[in-house]
Amino acid sequence: MIIILFGVFLLALLVITALAIVRTDNLFAAVILTGIFSLLMAANFFLLDAADVALTEAAIGAGISTVLFLGALALTGERERGGSTNRLLALGVVTVTTLIVIYATFDKPRLGDPDAPVHQHVGPWYLEKTPALIDIPNAVTAVLASFRGYDTLGEVFVVFTAGIGVLFLLSAGRGGRTEEIRPADAPGPGLRHYLVPRVVGRMLIPFIFLFGLYVQFHGDYGPGGGFQAGAIVAAAVILYALLEGEAQALRALPMSVLKWLVAGGALLYGAIGVASMFLGGNFLDYSVLASDPITGQHIGIIVIELGVGITVTGVLLCVFHAFAARGKV
Amino acid sequence: MYYAVTIATLVTMALALVRALLGPSIYDRLLAANMFGTKTVLLLSVVAFLYGRPDFLDLALVYALINFIGVIAVLEFIRERADTDSAQKNSGE
Amino acid sequence: MAMTIDILSWIMLTAGGAFVFIGGLGALRMPNLYTRMHAASLTDTMGAVLVIGGIMMQAGLTLATIKLAAILLFLLLTSPTASNALASAAILSGLQPEEGPIKPRKNAE
Amino acid sequence: MEILGLVYYWVFAILLMIGFYAVIAKPNLIKKLIGLSIFQAAVFLLYITMGKVEGGTAPIFQDGVSLYSNPLPQVLILTAIVVGISTMALGLGIVVRIKEEYGSIEEDEIQELDRK
């Protein structure tokens, strides 16, 4: 009960933040407020029992989305001209629609109602069958990787396609990416002259990597999995790029390797599906991967989570480098 | 007792949000966002114990580890912009 | 013994909550960016140490305590770093700290 | 309690429409994208709200706990968040190209340039 009150308080802050984001005409400020919005969102997800979702929102919202938006702002300018087009009409439409949606919510089941239609269909079935068929504690991972493996395959390919799309858009024209030429005495790229962030950042990067791997492989037992781990590992590399300059980060993980990661993860996922077909099962039916169906499930889940993680890392890093390189040409 | 800490954290979040809304400069907003991050770490740790599921501390750990990347990114953004500005000034002379 | 630990952890939690709140108040009421940063970061670290220390005492010797210790360690590393980066960025963009006594605001008590 | 159970849905509706307002009324393309992400976040909130079960806990099995929230909405939203950031990056990429071609990211100015 009191937790719900906490949740409502967080929701009020959420609405205020959203209003402020829309009202401000400085895009830089809007991006920073988006960071606060993401923190509030994660806290709300956590209060609503969605630990995995909150972890994903944390991994994406703390860092990566800010970095991407700032990368785009550096190329487009941070000042908005301000004002709205058709303000009254838009306000009218929005108000009327809000009232209609709020009116409609009175027919919805109340928060936490165990008899709600959502809880009558496959949800309880997943919860009931997970221990018997897959035998891992995290039901979210079980549903994500095994029961609804097709969905996740589709999502991974959407991520893949978006990554390829950004590469197409931003590496074309203007002679593509060229090696950056700087005079020798110019201040070095990155934050080399800022000792405190550099020293502490360099010290933390291994821990972020380690934690990313923990989230990747502990995903069967606690909150975590490929999507979160991919974002965390990407955040570590982005931190390295910010501290030492993109050129240095590209020397450590060249673009060609990143492109292989993007394709390789998705391929690994698909390959597991094909492998299970060859072994006599259905596409993405991991039970045939080992003599014991449950062991087969475990192997399948670990491998496809790895594929997801690799693709997400690759795509996020490709996107980051594409924006960074565009600014330098 | 956990509830008292949670309420203190929530109220502080509201105060930080007010600072983020008032500004006046970008950096005040950024400061507020950064405070918000620390407060979220505390909130998540306390709520994990309120729920009796301490294995969810991973979430607070993520924020403790990578929340400062946003501020670093802003520093890099400002530095990049200052570099470009001074380069333009030099070439203009 | 258990009682002592309980009382100690309650004291820490309450004090931590108070510090967190004071930090928030300082960040709201201080007159300019650098003083606000001082209020926010100083009490932030103190509040975090006390709150997480209090929870650690409640948790006892479990995996959770180790995770809490890691959270505390990383917070203590990243929070000042973020403040440093923030101040660097502010100075770089030409927002100089004011020298001399702070001018009282008109609406200050 | 009756009403409190609906507040989450109301916030969903309000957030949805704040995002929608930014998309239809703000001429700046990046602002439109930010509005779109608020819109998206509102939908995430709706799904997660529906998955919550009173007295339940997160669907990660633990000894001594028998009531769990619904894992299915969480799975859908978990993947949607990552897909959301990837598509947002794609949108930002398109905006960057528009800026390079037109020199502006304000919708009406771009339309003006197109008419010429």
pLDDT tens per residue across span A86-110: 888 989 999 999 999 999 988 888 8
* Least CB–CB distance from A72: residue in D11, D30, D81: D30
Our CA-based measurement puts residue A191 at a distance from the nearest CA of chain C, in whole angstroms, of: 10
Long-range CB pairs of B23-28 (<8 Å, 24+ gap) are: B23/A29, B25/C33, B25/C90, B25/C95, B26/A26, B26/A28, B26/A29, B26/A32, B27/C33, B27/C86, B27/C89, B27/C90, B27/C93, B27/C95, B28/C33, B28/C36
Confidence of residue D82 (pLDDT cuts 50, 70, 90): very high
In the numeric block, which tokens belong to residue A172? 């074309």
Gyration radius (Cα) of chain D, Å: 20
Tens of pLDDT, residue by residue over A294-312, are 888 899 999 999 999 999 9
Confidence of residue D17 (pLDDT cuts 50, 70, 90): very high
Q: Of A184-198, A231-245, B46-60, where does mean pLDDT reach its minimum?
A: A184-198
Does residue A16 surpass a pLDDT of 90? yes
Nearest-10 crossing angle of helices C33-59, B2-22: 160
- C-chain residues near B61 (CB < 8 A): 67, 70-71, 74
Predicted local confidence at residue D87, as pLDDT? 93
In contact, A32 and D53? CB cutoff 8 Å: no
In contact, C88 and A191? CB cutoff 8 Å: no
Our CA-based measurement puts residue B30 at a distance from the nearest CA of chain C, in whole angstroms, of: 8
Predicted local confidence at residue D64, as pLDDT? 79
Q: Which residues of C53-86 are buried (b: 16+ CB within 10 A; e: fewer)?
A: bbbbbbbeeeebbebbebbbebbebbbbbbbbbb
Q: Is D111 exposed, middle or buried (0-12, 13-18, 19+ CB in 10 A)?
A: exposed
Longest dimension (CA), chain B: 66
Alpha-carbon distance of A136 to A328, in angstroms, equals: 47
Alpha-carbon distance of A4 to D42, in angstroms, equals: 18
Predicted local confidence at residue A314, as pLDDT? 94
Does residue A325 surpass a pLDDT of 90? no
* Least CB–CB distance from C16: residue in B5, B19, B61: B5
- D-chain residues near A169 (CB < 8 A): 90, 93-94, 96-97
Interface of B with A in 4-43 (CB under 8 A): 6, 10, 13-14, 17, 20-21, 23, 26, 29-30, 32-33, 36-37, 40, 43
Decide if A42 and B40 are in contact by the 8 Å CB cutoff.
yes
Chains D and C in direct contact, meaning 3 or more beta-carbon pairs closer than 8 angstroms: no
Q: How many CB atoms lie within 10 A of CB A158?
A: 16
Does residue A180 surpass a pLDDT of 80? no
In contact, A56 and A45? CB cutoff 8 Å: no
Q: How many domains does chain C have?
A: 1
Q: Which residues pair with D57 in a beta bridge?
A: D68
Decide if A197 and C78 are in contact by the 8 Å CB cutoff.
no
In contact, A169 and D95? CB cutoff 8 Å: no
Q: Does A124 touch chain B (CB under 8 A)?
A: no
Q: Does C61 touch chain B (CB under 8 A)?
A: no
In contact, C51 and B45? CB cutoff 8 Å: yes
Does residue D63 surpass a pLDDT of 50? yes
- C-chain residues near A207 (CB < 8 A): 74
Predicted local confidence at residue B14, as pLDDT? 93
Q: Is A121 exposed, middle or buried (0-12, 13-18, 19+ CB in 10 A)?
A: exposed
Q: Does D53 touch chain B (CB under 8 A)?
A: no
Predicted local confidence at residue C103, as pLDDT? 58
Mean of pLDDT values over D76-84: 92
Query: pTM to 2 decimals?
Result: 0.91
Does residue B37 surpass a pLDDT of 80? yes
Q: Does B2 touch chain A (CB under 8 A)?
A: no
Closest residue, chain A, to B15 (C-alpha): A13
Predicted local confidence at residue A328, as pLDDT? 63
Predicted local confidence at residue B90, as pLDDT? 72
Does residue A158 surpass a pLDDT of 90? yes
Among A102, A145, A120, residue whose Cα is nearest residue A298: A145
- D-chain residues near A49 (CB < 8 A): 51-53, 56-59, 68-69
Alpha-carbon distance of A156 to D79, in angstroms, equals: 8
Mean of pLDDT values over A231-248: 90
Predicted local confidence at residue D45, as pLDDT? 93
Confidence of residue C109 (pLDDT cuts 50, 70, 90): very low
Mean of pLDDT values over D85-111: 90
Closest residue, chain A, to B70 (C-alpha): A63
Full residue range of the structural domain in which residue C33 is found: 2-91
Alpha-carbon distance of C57 to C65, in angstroms, equals: 8
* Least CB–CB distance from A126: residue in D44, D71, D97: D71
Confidence of residue A54 (pLDDT cuts 50, 70, 90): very high
Interface test with A, best of D72, D76, D83, D110 (most A CBs within 10 A): D72
Alpha helices, DSSP H only, in A24-64? 27-47, 51-59
Decide if A63 and B43 are in contact by the 8 Å CB cutoff.
no
In contact, D75 and A51? CB cutoff 8 Å: no
Confidence of residue D35 (pLDDT cuts 50, 70, 90): very high
| Residue C105 maps to a domain | no
Mean of pLDDT values over D79-96: 93
Mean of pLDDT values over D90-107: 89
For residue D60, the SS3 value is strand
Nearest-10 crossing angle of helices A293-328, A195-217: 150
- C-chain residues near A197 (CB < 8 A): 81, 84-85, 88
| Residue C37 maps to a domain | yes
Share of chain B above pLDDT 90, in %: 16
Fold assignment, D4-115 = Helix Hairpins (1.10.287)
Q: What are phi and psi of A173, to 5 degrees?
A: 70, 165
Closest residue, chain B, to D55 (C-alpha): B51
Alpha-carbon distance of A259 to A194, in angstroms, equals: 31
Tens of pLDDT, residue by residue over C48-75, are 899 999 988 888 888 888 989 999 999 9
Q: Across all residues in chain B, what is the average pLDDT?
A: 86
Mean of pLDDT values over A60-80: 87
Q: Is the bond preceding B24 in cis, omega lying within 30 degrees of 0?
A: yes
Predicted local confidence at residue D1, as pLDDT? 59
Q: How many CB atoms lie within 10 A of CB A96?
A: 11
ipTM over 0.85: yes
Gyration radius (Cα) of chain A, Å: 23
Give me the DSSP letters along A67-87.
HHHHHHHHHH-SB-----SSH
Higher-confidence residue: A150 or C44? A150
Among D51, D44, D32, residue whose Cα is nearest residue D98: D32
Does residue A185 surpass a pLDDT of 50? no
| Residue C42 maps to a domain | yes
The domain locations on chain D are 4-115
In the numeric block, which tokens belong to residue A253? 């993980």
